[in-house]
Amino acid sequence: MRRFVFIGTILVLGSSLLLHAQNHKRTVYKIFNNESIDRFTPKCMPNICAKRCFAWPVDVDKFWVSSLYGKRKRPNGSQGWHHGIDMAAFKGEKVYAIAKGTITFAGSRKGYGNSVDIEHQDKSFISRYAHLDTIAHGVYEGVFVRKGQYLGSVGATGNVRALGNDPSHLHFEIYHQDERIDPLCCLAQSPCT
């Protein structure tokens, strides 16, 4: 059985992904089959984010998803787990808060490089933005941010994989009740994206 969700400029079918931007329209379609959601995101059940108003952290016509949440090979060939999604974009592309909340971390973190964590509303969701080139002025721990507020810019700080000349990307994670969940699944359930 397939589930269709309208959310903004990406088409996900099973485990394959197609990004399209047509005349800079912000139209994203995601199609997930239940098997792929259940296999990679056992904690991402249908109503976790259904009433949350999340936005994209990068403008949808400015990135493509270079690595999905879930199993992936490490550089040494062994199997690992990727705890977020990678949104490949040009260095310096703007990164925004997906929803209002309070910044709980802003600085350099081992592996993640420059990163920002935001705790949202009822404290059951946290979003993490990593590998930032820069963190915006005024973004620091304890500051309240609104949805869509500028947090920093896409970069390649921390541990990044480089397949081409520019490894710049946003590594993006969402935590629900202190457990990481598939950000694409969560964004797909949001009625506001």
Domains of the chain: 2-189 (2.70.70.10)
List pLDDT tens digits, range 87-137.
999 999 999 999 999 999 999 999 999 999 999 988 889 999 999 999 999
Model pLDDT, residue 193 = 56
More confident residue, 36 or 73: 73
**pLDDT value of position 162:** 67
Query: Is the Cα dihedral 14, 147, 89, 137 positive or negative?
Result: negative
CB atoms within 10 A of CB 83: 16
* Residues in CB range of 191: below 8 A, 6 or more apart: 50, 51, 53
pTM over 0.85: no
Helix residue spans in the chain (DSSP H): 34-40, 183-189
% residues pLDDT > 70 (the chain): 71
| pLDDT of amino acid 141 | 97
Q: What is the distance between the terminal CA atoms of the chain, rounded to a whole angstrom?
A: 23
pLDDT tens track for 159-171: 887 666 789 999 9
What's the pLDDT tens digit per position in 8-62? Answer: 334 443 333 333 333 233 333 333 334 444 444 444 555 677 778 899 999 988 9
Which of 16, 18, 66 is CA-nearest to residue 169?
66
87 to 35, 45, 178: CA distances (angstroms): 23, 23, 22
Nearest residue to 176 via CA among 69, 58, 74, 95: 69
